[in-house]
Amino acid sequence: MIKGEGLRGAFQLLLRPTYQTHTALKNVSFTIESGSFVGLIGANGAGKTTLLKILSGLIPPSSGEARVLNFEPFRRPLEFRQKISLVMGQKAQLWWDLPASDAFELLRAIYEIPLKLYQERLHTLTELLDVKKHLNTQIRRLSLGERMKMELIGALLHWPNVIFLDEPTIGLDVFAAHKLREFLQVFNQREKATIILTSHNMDDIERLCPRILILRSGELIYDGPPGSLTRQGERRLRVRLMQNPGIEELGAVSGVAHKNISLAEKDTAHGDAMGAIHFDLKQEQIVPVLQNLMTRFQVVDMGIEEQSLENVIQRLYEGIP
Amino acid sequence: MNLEWRWAALKNGFQDATVYRLEFLFEVLGSALVPALIQWVLWYALFKVGGATQIAGLGYSEMLQYTLASLLFTQIRGGNHDFDLAEMIRTGQLSNYLLRPVGVVEFIFIRGIAPKLFLAAVCLSFGAIASLWLNSSPLRMAGAMALALLGNIIHYQLSASLAALAFYWEEAYSILMVKNLVVSLLSGELIPLSLFPSHYQWIWKSTPFYLFVFGPIQFALGQWSFNEFLGQIGIASLWLLVGWALVRASWGLGIRRYLSLGG
């Protein structure tokens, strides 16, 4: 629903509400092998959660087709629901006023897990996530990290074949996030479960996912390993010169386009009177650019910085080539 | 049919409803005693202060009996799980249940009815003792409680169908509130339905709401014969079928419009 401005806008909304249709996903097509760990990333509103909702069967695609484990997700057959799990970092699935152990008991009955197997799994999961001592504590009294771990246990008790994780490390401290990552890795490797993870935390993605899918405004713009994304990307050449040339001159001498040259602020307080100049370059351009610069200027200091996955992805989000 | 998860859901629902025991107790006592006190004040004003001897064929002591019996059955007539359903649709919390291998409407019902079953057992015990004291049959009380429980199911079915409007309008709070007010009036929770003028009796007779409180009271107090009672059980069964069809249709259609909002 779209709202106009001021009192008039408020009345317009009351009398003649207008609606806007937003296409969340466009021509997204991919296949995931069983047992893989795939990262699904994109800026806010890129369509990640919508994609997870379609794949898990919460909402239907308005056109096209989704298939998971050979099922049409939105039909939500019983067998399909027994084999999948969706964890949303921002949505609690367990009952707030009850201890996790009560909720797990109910889940055991829902998924018809034999008692002995349930006890084994619960033991394994609580050991791996280090929350055994909190099993009988009310969910509302747990810390965010402990709660998230309980949510994860609740989602995994039935040993799903496919797990959709929507920002599971949101709000967790470094230690808890690390523990969760470690656990997911072990679970994926040990149980051969297919995991699709969305996260804004590139640490999660880099450490866990051999394959990533990047969405931008509902379109799939990258599908491959994160490593090759950074290899395909640029290096950053950082130099300090005795002289103080402007970007025009630097561009003319180095042969690098102006948009790929940036001048860092001079930090005179820390004795950095010269200021660094950054060139975003392909690996093979570095030596020729340096040679060109040295024909005109005196290079005092230089270094080559690896582009982080985060930087590369940020540029992809922004549509910078 | 998997009875195990149903039993576990019942247990879980009871634990959830009674986790704060004092809160549970106050809720039960408050919702039972306040309407009963209002009724008592009304009857006192009409009969003792106003000097009336009979209203619609009922005297002061019969009105008081009705009020006391209503204490037992108003507790059973329905909870707030229709509001829960509507809220879950609106906030996207329904997603948690949709992906479980259980029917969401049934699951919420079972969790919700758990404390009501406990209350039904308590009220039945009180009612049975009172029946013995009044030289009436405790069997009547048991039958009345069974009818009240059928009424609870019908109430939930109709409410769940109304809650499905949240799939279309996002917010169904006000319509559920209006439904609750209508149910309060037409179930016989506030006044005996026999007080309705004869040419307006068709209003409550054409809804299933009288089966929630008024019907059970009539049978418990001996106003209905066993045959009449069996006839009412038949009517309740028909309403159950209607309710089942309504839930199937409203949720079958509504779920296609579910957006799973909220992250």
For residue B101, list chain A residues with Cβ-Cβ distance below 8 A: 78, 81-82, 110-111
Same domain, A214 and A87: yes
Same domain, A69 and A153: yes
Residue B252 pLDDT: 93
Which of B4, B98, B102 minimises the CB distance to A58? B98
Supply the CATH number for residue A281's domain.
3.30.70.260
List all residues 6 or more positions away from A168 whose beta carbon is below 8 Å from its beta carbon: A87, A89, A148, A152, A180, A184, A197, A199
DSSP state of A265: P
CB B81 within 8 A of CB B112: yes
* A59/B260 Cβ within 8 A: yes
Residue B3 pLDDT: 87
> Is residue A149 one of the residues assigned to a domain?
yes
Confidence band (pLDDT; 50, 70, 90) for A104?
Answer: very high
Q: CA-nearest residue of chain B to A47?
A: B263
For residue A71, list chain B residues with Cβ-Cβ distance below 8 A: none
For residue A89, list chain B residues with Cβ-Cβ distance below 8 A: 263
List all residues 6 or more positions away from A262 whose beta carbon is below 8 Å from its beta carbon: A277, A278, A280
The whole-number average pLDDT for the span A152-177 is 86
Same domain, A123 and A261: no
Same domain, A101 and A172: yes
> Is residue A14 one of the residues assigned to a domain?
no
Residues 161-220 of B with CB under 8 A from A: none
Q: Which of A82-86, A230-234, A305-309, B56-60 has the lowest mean pLDDT?
A: A230-234
In chain A, beta strands by DSSP E = 37-42, 84-88, 162-166, 194-198, 211-216, 219-224, 235-241, 261-263, 277-281, 299-306
* B5/A166 Cβ within 8 A: no
> Is residue A138 one of the residues assigned to a domain?
yes
Percent of chain A with pLDDT over 90: 41
For residue A164, list chain B residues with Cβ-Cβ distance below 8 A: none
DSSP state of B209: G
Q: Rounded to an integer, what distance in angstroms lies between the CA atom of residue A155 and that of residue B95?
A: 13
Same domain, A212 and A294: no
* A106/B260 Cβ within 8 A: no
Q: How close B104 gets to chain A, by Cα (Å)?
A: 12
User: Quick check: B15 contacting A, CB < 8 Å?
Assistant: yes
**Confidence check: pLDDT of A231 > 70:** no
What's the half-sphere exposure (Cβ side, CA atoms, 13 Å) at B261?
11
Same domain, A90 and A198: yes
Greater confidence (B196 vs A310) lies with B196
* B4/A109 Cβ within 8 A: yes
Residue B77 pLDDT: 81
List all residues 6 or more positions away from A142 whose beta carbon is below 8 Å from its beta carbon: A100, A134, A150
Residue A52 pLDDT: 92
Which of B5, B12, B98 minimises the CB distance to A102? B12
Same domain, A110 and A79: yes
Q: Strand pairing partners for A93?
A: none
Same domain, A169 and A255: no
Residue A89 pLDDT: 72
A56-65 per-position pLDDT tens digit? 999 999 899 9
> Is residue A17 one of the residues assigned to a domain?
no
**Residue B33: count of CB within 10 angstroms of its CB:** 12
* A82/B101 Cβ within 8 A: yes
Domain around A108: 24-229
Which of B4, B5, B99 minimises the CB distance to A81? B99
Q: Rounded to an integer, what distance in angstroms lies between the CA atom of residue A49 and that of residue B194?
A: 56
Q: Which long-range contacts (CB under 8 A, 24 or more apart) does A108-116 make?
A: A108/A157, A108/B8, A109/B2, A109/B4, A109/B5, A109/B7, A109/B8, A109/B9, A110/B5, A110/B8, A110/B9, A110/B100, A110/B101, A110/B102, A111/A82, A111/A157, A111/A158, A111/B101, A112/B2, A112/B4, A112/B5, A113/A157, A113/A158
Residue A173 pLDDT: 77
Same domain, A144 and A259: no
* B9/A59 Cβ within 8 A: no
Size of interface A-B (CB pairs under 8 A): 77
Sign of the Cα pseudo-torsion (A205, A208, A213, A218, in order): negative
What string of pLDDT tens digits covers the 263 residues of chain B? 778 999 999 999 999 989 888 888 888 888 888 888 888 999 999 998 988 888 888 899 889 989 999 988 988 887 778 888 999 999 888 988 999 999 999 999 999 999 999 999 999 999 999 888 887 888 999 999 999 999 999 999 999 999 999 999 888 889 999 999 999 899 998 889 988 888 899 999 999 999 999 999 999 998 999 999 999 999 999 999 999 999 999 999 999 889 887 65
> Is residue A174 one of the residues assigned to a domain?
yes
Q: How many domains is chain A built from?
A: 2
Q: How close A210 gets to chain B, by Cα (Å)?
A: 25
φ, ψ for residue B34 (rounded to 5)?
-60, -50
**Confidence check: pLDDT of A169 > 90:** no
Same domain, A99 and A190: yes
**Confidence check: pLDDT of A15 > 90:** no
Supply the CATH number for residue A28's domain.
3.40.50.300
The whole-number average pLDDT for the span A143-147 is 87
Q: Where among A192, A212, A229 does a domain terminate?
A: A229
φ, ψ for residue A181 (rounded to 5)?
-60, -45
Q: Rounded to an integer, what distance in angstroms lies between the CA atom of residue B253 and that of residue B263?
A: 23
Q: How close B263 gets to chain A, by Cα (Å)?
A: 7
Same domain, A308 and A163: no
Greater confidence (A171 vs A43) lies with A43
Q: Where among A229, A256, A287 does a domain terminate?
A: A229
* A60/B256 Cβ within 8 A: yes
> Is residue A107 one of the residues assigned to a domain?
yes
- The mean pLDDT value of chain A amounts to 85
The whole-number average pLDDT for the span A247-258 is 90
**Confidence check: pLDDT of A271 > 60:** no
Q: CA-nearest residue of chain A to B103?
A: A78
Q: How close B87 gets to chain A, by Cα (Å)?
A: 14
Q: How close B115 gets to chain A, by Cα (Å)?
A: 15
Same domain, A247 and A296: yes
* B8/A53 Cβ within 8 A: no
Q: Rounded to an integer, what distance in angstroms lies between the CA atom of residue A228 and that of residue A212?
A: 10
Q: Quote the ipTM score.
A: 0.86
Q: Where among A182, A202, A229 does a domain terminate?
A: A229
Greater confidence (A143 vs B2) lies with A143
φ, ψ for residue B228 (rounded to 5)?
-60, -40
Confidence band (pLDDT; 50, 70, 90) for A244?
Answer: confident
* B262/A97 Cβ within 8 A: no
> Is residue A16 one of the residues assigned to a domain?
no
User: B131 to each of B68, B141, B164, B224, how far by Cα in Å?
Assistant: 12, 7, 41, 15
**Confidence check: pLDDT of A17 > 80:** no
The residue type at A36: S
> Is residue A7 one of the residues assigned to a domain?
no
Which of A84, A102, A138 minimises the CB distance to B99? A84
Confidence band (pLDDT; 50, 70, 90) for A268?
Answer: low
Q: How close A110 gets to chain B, by Cα (Å)?
A: 5
User: Quick check: B10 contacting A, CB < 8 Å?
Assistant: no
